[in-house]
Amino acid sequence: MASHRKSRPTGTRVAGIRTPALATAALTSVALLSQSANATPEADGKPSLEEVEKKVDDLYRQAESATDKYNAAKEKTAKQRKRVDTLLDDVAQRTQKLNEARDQLGSYASAQYRTGVAAPDTATFLLADTPQDYFDQAQLMDRMTGRQKVAVDDYVTQQSETMKKRQEATESLETLTESQGDLKTAKATVQRKLADARELMSRLTAEEKARLAAIEREQREEAARKADELARQQAARQQAQEEAARQQEGGSSSGPSGSGSSTSTVPADSSYATKADKALAFARAQIGKPYVWGAVGPGSYDCSGLTQAAWKAAGVDLPRTTYDQVDAGTTVPLSQAQPGDLVFFYDDVTHVGIYIGNGMMIHAPKPGTYVREESIFYDGESAVHSVVRPA
């Protein structure tokens, strides 16, 4: 969700998740649903339905990746703009102090000139832009009073610091301009990918759209089946852990407790559960709101905008982008996922949802859809990248 963007985190994929080709389920479904669907383009050069589906999915994925670049560029631009404003304010204040120091030197020089205490070249020194050039002239410094020397030193210091801050402001403005360019590029990329996807979908006939809808239904059914399977595994694991705990309390130090020691369990303490409940309550309240790329609420969200807002409601600050959020916690096995954990998708970590239990999550899927509950296997088992406990 840029040239400025750091490399995608490779991370460690969830243990036990297979990596078949992502398109296998879709291609199989097409073959079952329509004998006329072929994997090669039609005779008239028109792409087959499965090719259109794959291309549209790829475009949405690319748009989501570009959205992350946009979000990162937007965040960087906002920070840089704040820094530039701060530096410009500082420069203005220092310039005022510099002018005040210059005025004081001018008053000294004028007084000395009128009384004849100082020679004309002393006045030239005091009113010069760079009086420090004369510091090595010991005979001139000897004619100065202590107050005059302090005034000159203050002027030189103010001049040096002001010049330094002006240079910092100039460099920050250049960086801001670069960030704004990255922001514009990322925005154009997202818009282009989405337009291409809409164009491909608009070319489908009514019959093709119906077949595509049937494929998607079958994929949802398979995803739901996988979610149920994970829910059963997690329930069995929980039951085994509770049984082992009861036996330990009863004085048993062998049996199930010994066999269970081979599997590491990442605990989720009560404080985490409390925060997770708040995050989930917020996420559920957003169900039905539209996905909009780059949005952070309250009326619409992109995927990482939703997870960031949900955990913020629980008092936990997450980074803005998926590839930063994936590093903002403890990675846990999928089998040990707890409600509130973040589930990340794809090798380039371009999508995220918030786990609600039983193999399900709440997420903002893609443009044209709404925040909803869905199986974490919505795009196949191989799409799951990792699970992170953020607090």
217-221, 247-251, 373-377 — most confident range: 373-377
Q: Which of 117, 84, 65 is nearest to 109 (CA)?
A: 117
| Kind and range of the H or E run holding 362 | strand 360-363
Residue indicated by tokens 């994925």: 61
| Kind and range of the H or E run holding 147 | helix 146-202
Give the per-residue pLDDT at 7.
44
The 360-363 sheet, strands edge to edge = 330-332, 384-389, 342-345, 351-357, 360-363, 372-375
Give the per-residue pLDDT at 245.
82
The residue-averaged pLDDT of 129-153 equals 57
Q: What is the pTM of this model?
A: 0.59
Is the pLDDT higher at 14 or at 301? 301
The one catalytic residue among 303, 326, 349, 388: 303
Contact 81, 176 (CB under 8 A): yes
Residue 363 a catalytic site member = yes
58-62, 201-205, 274-278 — most confident range: 274-278
Give the per-residue pLDDT at 203.
82
Kindly state the tokens that stand for 157.
Answer: 């210091």
The residue-averaged pLDDT of 362-370 equals 92
Kindly report, residue by residue over 276-299, the tens digit of the pLDDT.
Answer: 999 999 999 999 999 998 899 999
- Residue 47 CB: number of other CB atoms within 10 A? 15
Kindly state the tokens that stand for 175.
Answer: 């960086």
Mean pLDDT of the residues in the chain = 76
The residue-averaged pLDDT of 179-183 equals 75
The one catalytic residue among 102, 193, 211, 351: 351
Kindly state the tokens that stand for 207.
Answer: 């019959």
List of residues 6+ apart from 364 with CB closer than 8 A: 289, 291, 301, 302, 303, 305, 306, 370, 371
Give the per-residue pLDDT at 111.
62
Q: DSSP string spanning 275-324?
A: HHHHHHHHHHHTTTPBB-TT-BSSS-B-HHHHHHHHHHHTT-PPPSSHHH
Which range is least confidently modeled, 115-119, 203-207, 338-342, 350-354?
115-119
Residue 137 has pLDDT above 60, yes or no: no
List of residues 6+ apart from 75 with CB closer than 8 A: 320, 321
Residue 4 a catalytic site member = no
Residue 352 has pLDDT above 80, yes or no: yes
Kindly report, residue by residue over 302-319, the tens digit of the pLDDT.
Answer: 999 999 999 999 999 999
Give the per-residue pLDDT at 363.
98
Give the per-residue pLDDT at 76.
77
Residue 390 has pLDDT above 80, yes or no: yes
- Cα dihedral 197, 202, 206, 211, rounded to 10, equals -10
Contact 72, 4 (CB under 8 A): yes
Give the per-residue pLDDT at 262.
42
Q: Which of 264, 293, 292, 288 is nearest to 362 (CA)?
A: 288
The one catalytic residue among 363, 366, 385, 389: 363
